[in-house]
Amino acid sequence: MDAVTKPKPPLFPGYSLAERDRRWQIARNLMDEEGLDALLVAGERNLDIGTPLLAPDAYLSNDRPGALLLFPRKRNPIALVWSAQVVASHAIAELRGEGSWIAPGDMWVGRTPQRLAQLVGDCGLQKGRIGVIGIEGAGPGGESFISQLAWEGYTKALPDVTFVPVWKKFSHLMLIKSAEEIAALRQSADAGERMCEALIRAARPGVNEAELYATALTASLEGGAVSSWLILQTGKNNVCWGPPSWVFRPIRPRTVEDGDVILTELFPAYGLMETQQQLAIAVGNVDPIVEKCAAVAREGYEAGLAACRPGATFGQVSDAMVKPVNDVGGWFLTPQVHSINPITVMSSRAAFGVENLVNYKSYPAIPMRPEQDRDGVLKAGMSFAFEVNCHLGDKRVNIGGTVLVTANGAEELNTLANHMQRV
């Protein structure tokens, strides 16, 4: 990339104390509405990864994900962390003024039941009513953040505490972004755009999947975002999804050939604010059915943009995006659209028509995954991953990027991934 076309460096916007106070007030308002004395907040245990799918603990701490956070209604939150190394990281961040919202005296080591019981006792909440974020199913896998073993220990150590699940309500409050969060979202989306541009430039017959993978991750970091992994599939008749097989199986990365389609899903995140891009690249002359899949996917994408506005229900957006695929007798593995930040609080159905999968009859029946929160109402400040995918037989095209709901309708934060690219 020459000096003329080199993109501007990332801006690295941060969060102010006003943003901290806004988030903490959201938590306190929820406690007031639900009659709670405190919140107990857990997130995914991706301890050292910058892109956990769900990190409500970090949402309230502006710190390393993987903590167990106790947030009493009448005082600031306290973090129970798994290791002294987290405290060391916090100490250096304090010296550098990096903006953790957890005071040094509120950083406790140990997530054990005994440690939690000690903290609850210190806060005078041994018989309190505590809202819990972490025991309900969440995210694409519908799993809890707190393990059964840990939960049994917590409840045994605190027999007089009344625990109340509150994730569903809290997650909907998290969906609405502030101006500062939107600035972070834009940097993440910009990094995704750079990843797309780098992949398009690298795509050609003879390049292997590992080279493409490295190209994308490098572009993400140069764009000011972290991307710990990506989905990458190549071939002429490849409908599968997920990381390439050589990530988990000892085999040689596949080499791209003329007529292939390169399909990716990118996950850059800046300050835990994730965006997604579904980049499809046709290499040389591809099958006409691939071109039809691309046209149908684009039609679904445009229909989703038109439907995505404040006051619309998520179901209306989902239906608009699914219809073009249904109309041509297509099928799909993954949702056409879902919320991000947090992910899949709202999500369209998936595994629709999966009986068309090659060798399907060799496997136990695969159930369709239902929609999530079909009746949810869109509001300005919500962000969605548009990922329209159309399968016709053994051909697949998936396109789309991140879309922000504004007072005036949908705003596209990405462009390159919204059409199938051709090289």
Residue range 310-334, pLDDT digits in tens: 999 999 999 999 999 999 999 999 9
For residue 1, is pLDDT > 60?
no
CATH 3.90.230.10 domain position(s) in the chain: 179-422
Of the CA atoms within 13 Å of residue 256, those in its CB half-sphere come to 29
The letter for the amino acid at 45 is: R
Q: What is the pLDDT of residues 48-106, one digit of tens each?
A: 555 567 899 999 999 999 999 999 999 999 999 999 999 999 999 999 999 899 999 99
Burial of residue 259 (CB within 10 Å: 0-12, 13-18, 19+) is: middle
Q: Rounded to 5 degrees, what angle do the CA atoms 230, 61, 181 make?
A: 60
Q: Is the Cα torsion angle 410, 273, 397, 327 positive or negative in sign?
A: negative
Q: What pLDDT shows up at residue 5?
A: 60
Average pLDDT over residues 191-205: 98
Q: What pLDDT shows up at residue 382?
A: 98
DSSP, residue by residue, 21-84? HHHHHHHHHHHHHHT-SEEEEE----TT-S--S--HHHHHHSS-SS-EEEEETTS--EEEES-H
17-175 sits in which CATH class? alpha beta
For residue 4, is pLDDT > 50?
no
Average pLDDT over residues 209-227: 97
Cα distance between residue 113 and residue 151, in whole Å: 8
CATH 3.40.350.10 domain position(s) in the chain: 17-175
User: How many whole angstroms from its chain centre is CA 3?
Assistant: 33
Burial of residue 342 (CB within 10 Å: 0-12, 13-18, 19+) is: buried
User: What values do phi and psi take at 306, rounded to 5?
Assistant: -65, -35
For residue 187, is pLDDT > 70?
yes
User: In the structure encoding, which two tokens stand for residue 300, read together?
Assistant: 């679904």
Q: What pLDDT shows up at residue 326?
A: 96
User: What values do phi and psi take at 332, rounded to 5?
Assistant: -155, 150
Closest CA to 317 of 242, 239, 263, 382: 382
Q: What is the pLDDT of residues 99-132, one digit of tens each?
A: 899 999 999 999 999 999 999 999 999 999 999 9
Q: Rounded to 5 degrees, what angle do the CA atoms 215, 220, 226 make?
A: 125
Cα distance between residue 151 and residue 134, in whole Å: 10
Instruction: Tell me the pLDDT of the chain averaged across its residues.
Output: 95
Q: What is the pTM of this model?
A: 0.94
- CATH code assigned to 179-422: 3.90.230.10
Average pLDDT over residues 257-276: 97
Cα distance between residue 283 and residue 239, in whole Å: 16
Q: What is the pLDDT of residues 246-256, one digit of tens each?
A: 999 999 999 99
For residue 278, is pLDDT > 60?
yes
Q: What pLDDT shows up at residue 220?
A: 97
Q: What is the pLDDT of residues 369-408, one digit of tens each?
A: 999 999 999 999 999 999 999 999 999 999 999 999 999 9
**Better-scored residue on pLDDT, 300 or 142:** 300
Q: What pLDDT shows up at residue 262?
A: 98
Q: What pLDDT shows up at residue 53?
A: 72
CB 423 within 8 A of CB 200: yes
Neighbouring-strand partners of residue 350: 369
Q: What pLDDT shows up at residue 46?
A: 58
